[in-house]
Amino acid sequence: MTVRTRFAPSPTGFLHIGGARTALYNWLYAKRHGGTFLLRVEDTDADRSTTESMQIILDGLRWLGLEWDEGPGVGGPCGPYFQSERVGIYDRYLAKLEAAGLVYEDEGAIRFRVPDKLITVSDLVCGEVSTNLKEAGSRRYDADLKREVEANPDIVIKRPNGGYIFHFVNVVDDIEMAITHVIRGEDHLSNTPKHLALFEAFGVTPPQFAHIPLNLNPSGTKMSKRDQGALIHEYQDAGFLPSGVNNYMALLGWSAKDDQEIFTMEELKSRFDLTGVNSSNSKFDFDKCRWVNGEHLKRLTTEEFEQLAGPFLAKAGIAPEDPRVPTALGLARDRVQTLGEVPAIIGTIFAGSVTYDEASVAKVKEKADLAAVIEALITSLEAASDWSIDGIKAAVTSGAESLGVKMGTLMLPCRVATMGSTSGADLVPVLVLLGKEETVKRLRGFGGIIA
RNA sequence: GACCCGUUCGUCUAAGGGUUAGGACACCGCCCUUUCACGGCGGUAAUACGGGUUCGAAUCCCGUACGGGUCGCCA
């Protein structure tokens, strides 16, 4: 049987990292087994569903490269892929339950009679979990009263206003769309017996279930929109690579069982499997996510890096077609973990003026003879006949000799004077790009500031 | 509160009865570098606790603690 997996988001406005990872696991599992990955929009709650909020989710999935084989925009044999357009199908399935005497009306809503027996979920990740819905559902915790109250264990599947409820449509669609593997967050594990009861009521063999552990924020609670790294579009804005984000998401809850940490999408596709998914929740570590992304950045070709960095340069006011850009990018390349960090490294090269970092200035000011050092730099660099890496080095060396100090003594003040900070890209190549005139101008300007 | 799931360095994880408990991020140190990084090498750091079973337990069983989840006419 061909594997068919699905991602079924409800359009609440953002593609959350947890949802994205669920989508990734489903996508990878389908790819790994030569199957089909489908996207279904669970928009039964009309109040919360808008076109824009759905578009953000689709855009996020496309950016990640998790293209769906069936679903919105591409169609497929099991459409429509919006639950809001499938009411006729749900009516038909409801009629089946009615015919079997398994539903009844209760204050305008339709309830499904849950069976009074032990239902066992055989989960590919969590193992076997058993529940009796009739027993478990006959009590409910009332948050206001802070105690349990009597409850009707039969689940509502249709509202008085005609809208169908998640548990029902979810099962109907999984049947209609011939889903073979349901990979979803562990928060659904407790719901699964209800779904199994419905599959049985329809006389259908249920799909295999795999409940994957949740991603928690660093404080150990469920990731919320406000947590760093929670929303996929933020990765795009910050200059992450889709492959880097996918790689890190894959690692949160899954292991290849060897020491490999960096995977291309192709490698993930061939190596991912449910057997490597572990059952305990994981905390999101933004630093490691950045590191993984940095590794993906390093594996880019020069051309790819330049092309991808372009928009981030433009956003920072640097013209990507400036002839100095390729060299500057080469200097920034192996010291950034996201493309968004690039302008901070090389922006000052292209800027009309230098913004001085206070701590950096204070550090070079500690040297008593700073003014003399700057003066020597101006004199020797101005005299340089060959404005190349070697020529500049020779000039700085001669400046150092004139003061009777080592070249290294001049480098940090020169760095702060021309770039504003003690840290930054390799300085001599930066000076080459800056040009002699601008370099000397900046040194003079700095000399004026410290005087 | 009831039920369900979980618990290995700070974090992500490996080890499916016998390992000096391995790797990665982060952190610290050293080397390289006449600057800044990259890089290389090394270090600190973990089996939640208590009972069993066993010649032998991170690994199997029970209990406790802690964490997370579910208990909607949300999905």
As for the ipTM of the complex, it is 0.95
Q: What is the pLDDT of residues A295-323, one digit of tens each?
A: 999 999 999 999 999 999 999 999 999 99
Helix (H), strand (E), coil (C) string for A182-211: EEEEHHHHHHHHHHHHHHHHCCCCCCEEEE
Just give the CATH number of A4-212.
3.40.50.620
Q: What is the pLDDT of residues A48-103, one digit of tens each?
A: 667 888 999 999 999 999 999 999 999 999 989 999 999 999 999 999 999 999 99
Question: What fold is seen in the domain A352-450?
Answer: Arc Repressor Mutant, subunit A (1.10.10)
- Answer yes or no: is A278 CB < 7 A from strand B: yes
Residue with CA nearest to B13's C1' atom? A255
Q: What is the pLDDT of residues A118-152, one digit of tens each?
A: 999 999 999 999 999 999 999 999 988 888 999 99
* Cβ burial, residue A395 (10 Å; 0-12/13-18/19+): buried
- Which among A232, A233, A180 has a CA at the least distance from the CA of A206? A180
DSSP A250-294: HHTTB--SSS-----HHHHHHH--GGGB-SS-EE--HHHHHHHHH
Phi, psi for A372 (deg, rounded to 5):
-65, -40
Q: What is the pTM of this model?
A: 0.95
Chain A window 328-387, residues with Cβ within 7 A of nucleic strand B: 334-335
Enumerate the CATH 1.10.10.350 domain ranges in chain A, comma separated: 352-450
Give residue A420's identity as a one-letter amino acid code. Answer: G
- Answer yes or no: is A405 CB < 7 A from strand B: no
What confidence category does residue A1 fall into, taking pLDDT thresholds of 50, 70 and 90? confident
Enumerate the CATH 3.40.50.620 domain ranges in chain A, comma separated: 4-212
Task: State the Cα–Cα distance between residues A181 and A38, nearest whole angstrom.
Answer: 11
Residue with CA nearest to B67's C1' atom? A220
For strand B, which nucleotides have at least one atom less than 7 Å from a protein CB? 1-8, 10-16, 22-26, 34-39, 67-75
Chain A window 19-58, residues with Cβ within 7 A of nucleic strand B: 42, 44-45, 48
- Answer yes or no: is A220 CB < 7 A from strand B: yes
What confidence category does residue A381 fall into, taking pLDDT thresholds of 50, 70 and 90? very high
